[in-house]
């Protein structure tokens, strides 16, 4: 059953359509109702939205589990695959279908946790970029809203391409090796300052579109004397979009290491991204305290890479236990957070004032 897809696109096209409408509806409600006027997002508001997004993901996971418990025992391709293995008794078929339903729900939950944890890197970048361009807190939500809208489109493209590539077995080893390399690189990489002005996409934007020297409220574009200008808010948005594409190169293969089902990859990714803005405003004041978190993220990428190229082969049907994956990933995050709090980073010494001559 290794090549059997439980949720093929041909059978579930209607689900993708309804789920996309749900996401667009939530985004419209967010920007059109709750954030129609630009304002600084408070800790209380960010915490409320974080709870909302996580709760929606958990409710979806529960509903998905209930659906699979009902659907899989009567899913013809699964019954044929089980019959080919000599499993025909109703009790045995029901037990195997229930096991696959439990596994699918756990794969969604694990994928959600992986994407949520890897998105912390995005938050570090957001903090630096907003500070670099001097974007006021009141306008940051608007930038992140359109940034995440672009990220959703980007993830759909990446997941579609990944699902097509994963049909070739050798791609698993390519993805796995890439994740191992990226994870190890994180351990030894220096904390280099981010310089948006040196980004080639930002430079290209400035060549084709004049940029105003200062912000124009919450506008991305402004027309002056018949000439269309971009604003620093637009430059900031472009840099955030490009950064997300870079991060997607890591995160999408990481979730394909958890599950081969594109529907689970898609939904877990989207739910994690939808809550990214709220998580940013919730953690913006304490991000500097989690200095060991990058090692936890490096370990997670290395682990899922090893799982793709080697660890899964040690288990029956080449399937690494999902519960183990969830426990190891959650443990890595927990250890890195606790270590950061127990061993705080020493403050950098203040620069001595220059002597007056």
Q: For the segment 170-207, what is each residue's pLDDT rounded down to a tens digit?
A: 788 888 888 888 888 888 776 666 666 677 777 888 88
Q: Name which residue leads in pLDDT, 122 or 268.
A: 268
Token pair of 267, please? 């939904």
Residue 304 to residues 48, 104, 264: CA-CA distances in angstroms?
Answer: 31, 17, 17
- pLDDT-above-90 percentage for the chain: 16
* Phi, then psi, of 229 in degrees rounded to 5: -115, 145
Range of the domain at 187: 26-342
Domain presence at residue 209:
yes
Domain presence at residue 282:
yes
Domain presence at residue 19:
no
Q: What is the pLDDT of residue 356?
A: 42
Q: How far apart are CA 179 and CA 184, in angstroms?
A: 9
State yes or no: pLDDT of 357 exceeds 50: no
Measure CA 50 to chain center. 15
Domain presence at residue 15:
no
Domain presence at residue 220:
yes
Residue 254 to residues 102, 108, 158, 182, 298: CA-CA distances in angstroms?
Answer: 21, 13, 12, 11, 12
Residue 79 to residues 72, 91, 92, 150, 260: CA-CA distances in angstroms?
Answer: 9, 13, 11, 40, 19
Q: Are 112 and 264 in contact (CB under 8 A)?
A: no
Q: What is the pLDDT of residue 351?
A: 46
Taking residues 160-167, report their average pLDDT. Answer: 79
pTM tops 0.85? no
Q: How far apart are CA 53 and CA 46, in angstroms?
A: 11
Domain presence at residue 347:
no
Domain presence at residue 7:
no
Domain presence at residue 136:
yes
Q: How many domains does the chain have?
A: 1
Q: What is the DSSP string of 91-147?
A: HHHHHHHHHHHHHHHHHHHHHHHHHHHHTHHHHHHHHHHHHHHT--HHHHHHHHHHH
């Amino acid at each position: 059953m290794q090549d059997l897809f439980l949720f093929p696109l041909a059978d579930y096209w209607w689900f993708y359509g309804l789920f996309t409408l749900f996401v667009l509806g939530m985004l419209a409600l967010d920007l059109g109702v709750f954030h129609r006027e630009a304002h600084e997002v408070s800790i209380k508001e960010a915490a409320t939205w974080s709870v909302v997004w996580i709760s929606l993901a958990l409710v979806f996971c529960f509903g998905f589990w209930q659906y699979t418990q009902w659907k899989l025992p009567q899913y013809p391709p699964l019954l044929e695959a089980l019959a080919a293995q000599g499993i025909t008794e109703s009790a045995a078929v029901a037990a195997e279908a229930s096991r696959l339903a439990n596994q699918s729900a756990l794969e969604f939950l694990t994928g959600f946790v992986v994407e949520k944890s890897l998105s912390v890197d995005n938050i570090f970048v957001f903090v630096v970029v907003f500070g670099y361009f001097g974007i006021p807190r009141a306008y940051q939500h608007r930038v992140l809203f359109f940034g995440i809208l672009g990220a959703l489109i980007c993830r759909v493209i990446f997941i579609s391409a990944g699902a097509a590539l994963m049909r070739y077995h050798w791609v698993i080893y390519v993805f796995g090796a890439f994740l191992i390399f990226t994870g190890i690189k994180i351990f030894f990489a220096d904390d280099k300052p981010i310089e948006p002005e040196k980004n080639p996409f930002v430079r290209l934007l400035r060549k084709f579109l004049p940029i105003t020297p200062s912000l124009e409220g919450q506008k991305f574009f402004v027309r002056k004397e018949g000439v269309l200008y971009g604003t620093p808010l637009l430059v900031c948005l472009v840099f955030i979009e490009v950064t997300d594409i870079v991060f997607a190169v890591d995160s999408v293969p990481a979730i394909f290491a958890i599950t081969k089902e594109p529907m689970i990859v898609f939904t877990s990714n989207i739910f994690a991204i939808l809550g990214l803005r709220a998580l940013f405003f919730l953690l913006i004041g304490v991000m500097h305290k989690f200095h060991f978190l990058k090692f936890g993220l490096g370990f997670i990428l290395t682990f899922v890479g090893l799982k793709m190229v080697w660890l899964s082969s040690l288990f029956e049907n080449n399937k690494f236990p999902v519960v183990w994956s969830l426990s190891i990933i959650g443990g890595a995050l927990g250890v890195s957070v606790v270590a950061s709090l127990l061993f705080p980073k020493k403050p950098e010494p203040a620069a001595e004032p220059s002597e007056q001559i």
